[in-house]
Amino acid sequence: MSRPAARPDDEREFVKEIPSKAEHFSDWYTAVVLKAELADYYPVRGCIVVRPYGYTIWELIQQGLDRRFKATGHVNAYFPLFIPQSFFEREKEHVEGFAPEVAWVTRGGGEELSEPLAVRPTSETAIGHMYARWIRSYRDLPVLINQWCNVVRWEKATRPFLRTMEFLWQEGHTAHRTAEEAEAEARQMLGVYRDFAETDAAIPVLAGRKPESEKFPGAERSYTIEALMPDGQALQSGTSHNLGQNFARAFDIKFLDSDNVEKHAYTTSWGVSWRLLGGMLMVHGDDRGLVLPPALAPFQVVVVPILTGPKRDDVLAAAREVARRVGAVARTRLDDRVEVTPGWKYNDWEMRGVPLRLEIGPRDLAQQQVVLAPRAGGGKQGVPMSGLEQSVPEALAAVRRALFDQAKMYLDAHIVAARSLAEVVEAVAGRRGFVRAVWCGAEACEQAIRRQSGASPRVITEEAADGPCVACGAQAREVVYFARAY
RNA sequence: CGGGGAGUGGCGCAGCUUGGUAGCGCGCAGCGUUCGGGACGCUGAGGCCGAGGGUUCAAGUCCCUCCUCCCCGACCA
């Protein structure tokens, strides 16, 4: 990415406002979230207020995902925030997995409740209960429902978007006639997540199956997309679970099949939270602030008129006209404020991550051009005013491509192959990213690697395994990627 | 949850050791000059010093409790 000729004074001032991403990553993250007005703190631990600019990004994430959910046959519904304790305890692994982080309501209206209500940490149980009422026949299947909602998990350490006590997400819950259908659904949604992450968010991911120990509590198989953050840690960015018949048995989700035999349904669940937003900030941002992929940028284009000289009014009129025309092909904002200078606006919009800036001044007006300044992937260039309907979308596409390519190069460069346990330990210690290994998949081997390296197995891909297990030396069955994780 | 750090106008900080009228920079408001990478001048507004208790003639400053945030670790689909 090219940066304009910088003057030392400005650089120093800038660094004062936003810490270096490379040197103070955590501080950098917090600073950009606050300064770009994505979110703010609230006096309850672990809770954030999502401000309009941040919420608009979330809405764009919602739209991108929702469009894909609808295209794959899903519909939206809404289930309640409160879950009776008794529901919650029906699935053994589920209750054990979530017990430590569930918030309970025990009083209401001034009286002790006869049965405590869980504030949902996820809704498999509530939805399972309802599916049992709704499903009678194989003709009722599949049920393909998604809900957009909030959930609460009593986390010990929190960070804006990445781990908050209350967070927004979507959770899809489906019920199927056969195991094969459920498995296909879980895999399909993993594919949807991958497509969204890589296309709209421009984040390359490793996609695959979760090892046993990392499965969702109560799931038969869990799938995940894992992204690599600049500090070398993995971020689980979306998960999809094949729940088999576990929840159907726990909640009596049964149907009469065409052979007149009553059977338990097969269910799935899958979710993406606003954590993905946090991941996107970390992956693409730089020392100047945010860099938003065009698909998820509240403003894809900002038009900055240079209001000076005798042609001032003409420049403003031209800028308005450009903003109007570009507004037809991209989300566009005209920044015609007179109280701040153009340079201030450049820095401000760069900090907020706007992918493309158009500058129009008296010189441009004379040449019937605008200066096009992409936030990433190239330097400023003048383009003819007449062709903006083509050049702007092209420039936005180039920004997306540059962001993805840059992140992909980083990901590829930070996958270290390890052929022994010692190499796994060494690679993890270097915080270089993912450590690729082959293993036999045995629990003992996994635990050994975990203990000695401090890293967890993030994802098992479908690559063919070759050679001996890094832990025990037996014939390896799978390719697994280890990393420290968020 | 353990270790460490912090909370003082909107933001960033000083003041606390040694108690005695709350300061600086930026920002903000008005006016004027400016405007192609964070402009400048003049004038001005704005703070029960995170909360509660205690010591004292007197607390931003000393003591106790609590809350929130940050960093490292542990924990965590």
Beta bridge partners of A49: A40
b/e code A321-344 from CB counts within 10 Å (16+ = b): ebbeebeebbbbbbbeeeeeeeee
Which among A315, A329, A328, A310 has a CA at the least distance from the CA of A370?
A315
How far apart CA A130 and CA A132 sit, in angstroms, is 5
pLDDT in tens, chain A (486 residues): 222 222 223 333 344 478 888 888 888 999 999 999 999 988 888 999 999 999 999 999 999 999 999 999 999 999 999 999 999 889 988 988 898 899 999 988 888 899 999 999 999 999 999 999 999 999 999 999 999 999 999 998 899 999 999 999 999 999 999 999 999 999 999 999 999 999 999 999 999 999 988 999 999 999 999 999 999 899 999 999 999 999 999 999 999 999 999 999 999 999 999 999 999 999 999 999 999 999 999 999 999 999 999 999 999 999 999 999 999 999 999 999 998 999 999 999 999 999 999 999 999 999 999 999 999 999 999 999 999 999 999 999 999 999 999 999 999 999 999 999 989 988 888 777 999 999 998 888 888 888 888 888 999 999 999 899 999 999 999 999 999 888
Nucleotides of B under 7 A from a protein CB: 1-2, 28-29, 34-39, 67-77
- Contact (CB, 8 A) for A314 and A365: yes
This complex has an ipTM of 0.91
Q: Is the shortest CB-to-strand distance from A306 to strand B under 7 Å?
A: yes
- Contact (CB, 8 A) for A74 and A144: yes
Nearest nt (C1') to A214 (CA)? B77
Q: Is the shortest CB-to-strand distance from A26 to strand B under 7 Å?
A: yes
Q: Where are the alpha helices (DSSP H) in A135-216?
A: 179-199
How far apart CA A409 and CA A463 sit, in angstroms, is 20
Q: Is the shortest CB-to-strand distance from A11 to strand B under 7 Å?
A: no
Nearest nt (C1') to A25 (CA)? B71
Mapped onto helix, strand or coil, the DSSP state of residue A314 is: helix
How far apart CA A136 and CA A464 sit, in angstroms, is 42
Q: What are phi and psi of A381, to 5 degrees?
A: -150, 150
How far apart CA A267 and CA A248 sit, in angstroms, is 7
pLDDT of residue A22: 87
pLDDT of residue A10: 34
Positions 88-127 in A, CB within 7 angstroms of strand B: 97-98, 100-101, 121-122
User: In which element (H, E) is residue A135 found?
Assistant: none
Q: Is the shortest CB-to-strand distance from A23 to strand B under 7 Å?
A: no
Distance A42 CA to B48 C1' (A): 22
Name the region of A46 (left: φ>0; alpha: ψ -120 to 50; beta: rest). Answer: left
Residue with the two structure tokens 């030392």: A8
Residue with the two structure tokens 């149980």: A125
